[in-house]
A = this chain, B = another copy of it.
Amino acid sequence: MKIIVNTHLKKGVLDPQGKAVHHALLALQFDEVENVRIGKQIILQIEDGDKTKTLKRVEKMCEDLLANTVIETYTIDIED
């Protein structure tokens, strides 16, 4: 089973990496870009099994390791 976890900085948290990329894009004449935010995409290959149980486990992984829940939010998607 393929699970995709996306983590992003919460709104209001400064994203210096995004700011740097935005600045570089403007320097390259991509003036239409208004804002850039950068997050992480984690692709997990997990043993096939009960979806509900797997989702619960992945949520626990996010809380324990994958996301810094103080400043980040995360979304979990299953891709079959």
Chain A 22-57: CB-based contact to B (< 8 A → 1; otherwise 0): 001100101011111111111111110100001001
Question: Contact at A25–B57, with CB atoms within 8 Å?
Answer: no
Question: How many copies of the shown chain assemble into the complex?
Answer: 2
Contact of A40 among B24, B34, B38 (CB under 8 A): B38
CA distance A53 to B38 in the complex (A): 23
Question: Contact at A42–B33, with CB atoms within 8 Å?
Answer: no
Which of A24, A28, A45 has the most chain B CB atoms inside 10 A of its CB?
A45
Question: Contact at B30–A38, with CB atoms within 8 Å?
Answer: no
CB-nearest residue of chain B to A31: B47
Can you name 11 A-B residue pairings with CB atoms under 8 Å?
Answer: A8-B43, A18-B42, A28-B64, A28-B65, A30-B57, A30-B60, A30-B61, A34-B46, A34-B47, A37-B43, A41-B41
